[in-house]
């Protein structure tokens, strides 16, 4: 149980276009989902936290108009990179936390999406 | 605010040898500590955690970590590594119940035959 999927696993897009990444909790309901960005050979940096049905909370330095996050249901959150540029190329990882009442550290990670902007 | 330091970016070790991956943290409050493992092109998997109680925690695949409050450390150890342990290992802290993790920069463990 507690599987999180991401789609697509890899995406290549042209500079100036937008790309959407989906994060799904397959066998549990996730009230909270997190989006991370990981540069090559570096650690994960939290970009934003999204709670189902409310606006996402962005970390300092993350442009909310560029990285649009929608958490419309208890099993799906999407990250849209708008007007992508080569510097947005990175590995994006989501994680999901189960509904309230579960330990906070039970955060399940997706396999990641590698975005390449040409 | 919390921060995590993993001094060794890469650790090569021969199969069946022991290994220690170092993790130090800084925080003005009590923390919860975690080790995650990331295999190539995959997400993170929780390896073990320290929340309270015994300072020595173990995973199901032979890893262990010891919380040392005075040295603000949470080093990861395994007495005998396997080729399959080759991966990136991240130490993480969380100081707020229900809040976010701060990850260290990671240590790449390479197990050589």
- B47 near A109, Cβ under 8 Å? no
Give the pLDDT score at A99.
66
3-class SS of residue A60? coil
CB distance A43–B41 less than 8 Å?
no
Q: Which residues of chain A are modeled with pLDDT < 70?
A: 1, 99-105
Question: What does the pLDDT look like over A8-32, one tens digit per residue?
Answer: 999 999 999 999 999 999 888 888 8
Residue ranges of alpha helices (H) inside A7-111 are none
CA A21 to chain B, closest CA, distance in angstroms equals 15
In B, what residues contact A, Cβ < 8 A?
A: 9, 32, 34, 36, 41-46, 49, 51, 90, 94, 97-101, 103-106, 108
For chain A, first and last CA: distance in Å? 37
CA A88 to chain B, closest CA, distance in angstroms equals 18
CA A53 to chain B, closest CA, distance in angstroms equals 18
3-class SS of residue B96? coil
Give the pLDDT score at B27.
83
Chain A stretch 29-88, residues whose beta carbon is closer than 8 A to a beta carbon of chain B? 34, 41-46, 49
Burial (CB count <10 Å: 0-12, 13-18, 19+), residue A30:
buried
Question: What does the pLDDT look like over B10-43, one tens digit per residue?
Answer: 999 999 999 999 999 998 777 889 999 998 877 8
Mean pLDDT of B42-67: 88
Test mutation, A10, A107, A108, A113, chain B, max B CBs within 10 A: A107
Give the pLDDT score at B99.
64
CA B86 to chain A, closest CA, distance in angstroms equals 15
Q: Between A62 and B52, whose confidence is greater?
A: A62
Backbone angles phi, psi at B85, to 5 degrees: -80, -5
- B92 near B34, Cβ under 8 Å? yes
Question: What does the pLDDT look like over B65-102, one tens digit per residue?
Answer: 999 989 999 999 999 999 999 999 999 998 765 567 88
């Amino acid at each position: 149980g507690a599987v999180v999927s991401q789609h697509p696993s890899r995406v290549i897009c042209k500079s100036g276009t937008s790309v959407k990444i989906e994060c799904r909790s397959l066998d549990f309901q996730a009230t909270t989902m997190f989006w991370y960005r990981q540069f090559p050979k570096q650690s994960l940096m939290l970009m934003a936290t999204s709670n189902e049905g409310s606006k996402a909370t962005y970390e300092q330095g993350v442009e909310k108009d560029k990285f649009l996050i929608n958490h419309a249901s208890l099993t799906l959150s999407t990250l849209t990179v708008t007007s992508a540029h080569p510097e947005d190329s990175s590995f994006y990882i989501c994680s999901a936390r189960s509904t309230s009442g579960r330990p906070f550290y039970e955060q399940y990670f997706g396999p990641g999406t590698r975005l390449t902007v040409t | 605010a919390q921060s995590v330091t993993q001094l060794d970016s890469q650790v090569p070790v021969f199969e069946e040898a022991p290994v220690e991956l170092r993790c130090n943290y800084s925080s003005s409050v009590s923390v919860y500590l975690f080790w995650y493992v990331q295999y190539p092109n995959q997400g993170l998997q929780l390896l073990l955690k320290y929340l309270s109680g015994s300072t020595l925690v173990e995973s199901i695949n032979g890893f262990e970590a010891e919380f040392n409050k005075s040295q603000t450390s949470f080093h990861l150890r395994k007495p005998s590594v396997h080729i399959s342990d080759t991966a990136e290992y991240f130490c993480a802290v969380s100081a707020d119940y229900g809040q976010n993790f701060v990850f260290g920069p990671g240590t790449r463990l390479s197990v050589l035959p």
